[in-house]
Structure 1
Amino acid sequence: MFDHVVFGVSDYAASKAFYLAALAPLGIKLVAENELGIEMCGDDECSLCLFPTDEKPAHLHLAFRADNRAQVDAFYHAALAAGGIDHGAPGLRPKYSPNYYAAFVIAPDGHNVEVVCHKADG
C-alpha cells in the first residue's frame, strides 16, 4: 500500500541508531543519507525516511510486518538494546486476531514501534 513513510525526529543521531538497529532483524537497512535525512528499506522496496527537526513530532504508531515470530523476538531485543523502552513484550495478541504475534517498543521520540507476524507458529 505505501511507497514510503517520512517523519521528523528531534534527536536525529539517536533515532537513526535506534531504527537501524531495531529494524535490522527485518532486513531493513540504510539505503541513502543526505542533507535531508536517511532512507531505510527492506526487500519490499517500501521505505522509511527520517529527517531532523527542531519540532517535537506528534507520536506515531509504526507497525512493521515480520515473516516469522523469531523476527518479532529479534526486533524486540535489538530495539531494547538500542535504547527503546518496552511497551509490550513479544507474544500473542488474540484480541486482534488468533495468530497476531507482536512486540511493541517506544522509540526515542515516543513513537510506538510494533513488529507483527500474522502467521501461525511453525
Structure 2
Amino acid sequence: MIDHLGVQAADVEASLAFYLRIFAPIGMRAAVRFPAGNSVVVGLAAGESGPEFWLSAAGGGETRELHVAFRAPDRSAVHAVHEAAVEAGAEVLHAPREWPEYHPGYYAVFLRDPDGHNVEAVHHGNQVTV
C-alpha cells in the first residue's frame, strides 16, 4: 500500500550522512539526488529496490511536513483520487501529471491532508530501475 516515505529535514546533508552511516548494515544508499531550491532532495534505497525513503529540506521552523505516497494501479486511479479530492474540497498541491525528474512514467497527484501533510497517489507506468 505505501509506495515511499518523504521526511523533511532541517539539514538534508546532515540527515543524509546520519542515515547512510547508521543504516549501512542494511545496504542503504543514496539512489537519486537532484537540486531543489537552495538544497537537494535525496532518495534512499536498500538492496536492489529503487528509492523508497526521501529526504528534502523543511519548509520552515520546527514544523515538519510528512509526505506519504500510496501506490495506484494505473493512471485512471490517480485521476479518480484527484476527482475525489476536488469533490471533498481538499487542497490540490499538484494536479495529476507525469514527473520525469523522478523517472519516466512516474504519474502522480499531490494533495494536502487535513493535518497539512503532503499525500500522493502514484502510478509508476514504465518504471526504470534506479
TM-score by length of 2: 0.47
Q: Flag the structure with larger Rg.
A: 2
Higher relative contact order (CA 8 A, sep 6+): 1
